[in-house]
Amino acid sequence: DAKTTQPPSMDCAEGRAANLPCNHSTISGNEYVYWYRQIHSQGPQYIIHGLKNNETNEMASLIITEDRKSSTLILPHATLRDTAVYYCIVRVTMGNYGGSQGNLIFGKGTKLSVKP
Amino acid sequence: DTEVTQTPKHLVMGMTNKKSLKCEQHMGHRAMYWYKQKAKKPPELMFVYSYEKLSINESVPSRFSPECPNSSLLNLHLHALQPEDSALYLCASRDVRGVQYFGAGTRLSVL
């Protein structure tokens, strides 16, 4: 499995964009980049995932570099409720439920603190 | 409905007790997971069920016994736990895109 490297912590001002980087220089061609976050004492929450194209949903945008060795999660207008640990995970995905490729291996993540 | 429901939310048990954690999802997912999370650490995978069969056991001690009675339900039976087993226990289910949906967890304290 490709390993990921994230900064341990980041601060962001409320209302500004939060840009969270992730390095995954050993990513394979069939591995996706997944982002989850975990707000204190809650279960992790899925945010977004992508293979090579940039992706956007109602929560965030995911920018993947052309060589796929790094990515950035963008929260366009951070709020205090976005304070959480953000995990970047690289995994193969499958169109069924078999095998171990869908399993998530969590790293230490980035602790994002959104400040007023 | 993208909800995974875990009960109970909190559990306190003695080292000689037997208790069970329950997890339920109605999204039609056929892969379900148990994770353990200690304070200030990331979640660690314990068990994976695929099509109601145990497919992965990450060398978890036998005092933790998982069970998948049907495609919507996952249990974790606990017996003779140690104080170091105190943690947040998370359940998740996965869709075919590889996205996992997590419950809120059961916070377990072993006295």
What is the per-residue pLDDT across A88-102, written as a single tens digit (0 to 9) for each?
999 876 656 665 556
Which pLDDT does position A100 carry in this prediction? 59
B-chain residues near A99 (CB < 8 A) = 50, 55
- pLDDT class of A73 with cuts at 50, 70, 90: very high
Quick one: pLDDT at residue B98?
A: 86
* Mean pLDDT, residues A52-62: 95
The secondary structure of A79-111 as a DSSP string is -GGG-EEEEEEEEE--SSS-SSTT-------EE
Cα separation, B55 vs A20, whole angstroms: 34
B30 touches chain A (CB under 8 A): yes
The verdict on A108 touching B (C-beta cutoff 8 Å) is yes
Confidence band for A2, pLDDT divided at 50, 70 and 90: low
Helix (H, G, I), strand (E, B) or coil at B95: coil
Beta strands in chain B, from DSSP E residues, in sequence order: 4-7, 10-13, 18-25, 31-37, 44-50, 53-57, 64-70, 73-79, 87-94, 100-102, 106-110
Question: Residue A99: beta bridge partners?
Answer: none
